[in-house]
Structure 1
Amino acid sequence: MDKAIERAIACVEAGADMIFPEAMTSLDHYKQFKSALSSATGKDVPIIANITEFGQTPLFGCEELASVGVDMVLYPLSAFRAMNKAAENVYQHLLTEGNQEALTSQMQTRAELYEHLNYHSYEDKLDQLFADNKS
């Protein structure tokens, strides 16, 4: 921990705007890190927590992390891992059942996708732009 704090202080002195303390294994470690960094630099240096599944850091929540001075939280692979598992399940189902009919209730519909993307507004804007160019 001491060496990590020393490196973080050097990074801040070299101009780092934020620090990412790697592999913190307790909330107290984040608190200790934040306190030591602030004391040594005289600055409130933002720190970021990387909460990735299957790593060394427990799966702390945002409120827990904020309570010990963490300013930003990343969940870099959560959706990716869930999507990969879902894709694996779909392909396994296709192999065993031969179609995806039983899975459609678990899928995003075309209408839901278009709504999320605001797709129809985009189409309307394109139509307007092309109509303006014809004039």
Structure 2
Amino acid sequence: MAATTTRLKELLAAPGIRIMPGCHDALSAKLVQEAGFEMGFMSGFAVSGARLGLPDTGLISYGELVEQGRNICAAVTIPMFGDGDTGFGNALNVTRTVQGYARAGFACIMIEDQMAPKRCGHTQGKAVVSREEAAMRIRAAVDARNAGDDILIMARTDARAVLGLEEAIARCRLFRELGADITFLEAPESVEEMRRYCTEVGGPKMANMIEFGKTPVLPPRELEAIGYKIAVYPLTLLNAGIRAMRDALVCLKQGRTPGNIMDFEELKASVGFPRYYDEEQRYRY
């Protein structure tokens, strides 16, 4: 855990923007690392969809997320960000959530200012807590970090959609003052809004690149020029996976073999059979 947190700090301090794909289980996390990415993100939306078959509307629990995160972090060696939703309650709940994510192996946890039940930041019906309660959550998260939990804190606000850009920027500034390592202003609706956020808030900032969402999806170089340090693509793998599975099911229903199917040896390699065989041989007697 300490090694991945240290590595994340190094990545944030180094020049250039970092591209961070989202994942929803141990296998998708392994694919992110296999593809050469330096960090990954456990998306609450993706985990809720893949694990429960339910929308990201606060239906998934702390226990389910941290268990999924434990499997994800155990499968890779790159730093992983974990979606910690609202922290699941008051300051003591936030403290426990941060501690649980740190012990699961996450290098960073995201805590947001939505009211429960929270929901995906690019969907309707969002509401946020007061600025004071939002500050309480981040203060509790920072205190847990400072008390010895080796994890970074990413503070997210969804205030743009509810209270406007000015309040969202003010909250991000406050989160930085409270000690958040990274800020995340969710769902700005134009390049100008993205530029204002990056200009008026210090420290590392994350851009959320959801295909066909509320925020313009820009190339990484443009995001870096605006002032972002991280570009997260939280739903790309889930999106592509659902499309591929639907296409394969159509083929099967029509009595055809789906195209773009891996050779069985490649499939076995993807889930780790060669390494298992090597280890099995090592301990053979």
Contact residue 31 and residue 69 of structure 1 kept, 8 A: yes
Q: Distance in 1 between matches of 2:268 and 2:248?
A: 22
Structure 1 stretches of 4+ moved >6 Å = none
* Structure 2 residues without counterparts, runs of 5 or longer: 1-164
Amino acid at match of 1:20: F
Q: Distance in 1 between matches of 2:263 and 2:219?
A: 30
Tell me the residue number matched to 2:205.
Answer: 47
Question: What does 1:1-135 correspond to in 2, within 5 Å?
Answer: 1-38=165-202, 45-95=203-253, 97-100=254-257, 103=258, 105-116=259-270, 119-128=273-282, 130-131=283-284, 134=285
Larger Rg, first or second structure (1 or 2): 1
Q: Distance in 2 between matches of 1:74 and 1:108?
A: 27
Distance of aligned partners of 1:124 and 1:99 in 2 relative to their CA distance in 1, 3 Å threshold: same
Amino acid at match of 2:171: R
Give the TM-score of the pair, scaled to structure 1: 0.78
Greater displacement, 50-59 / 68-77: 50-59
Amino acid at match of 1:14: L
* Structure 1 residues without counterparts, runs of 5 or longer: 39-44
Deviation of the 1:89 alpha carbon: 1.4
Q: How many residues align?
A: 121
Give the TM-score of the pair, scaled to structure 2: 0.39
Higher strand share: 2
Higher helix share: 1
Deviation of the 1:124 alpha carbon: 0.9
Identity %: 27
CA RMSD of aligned residues (A): 1.9
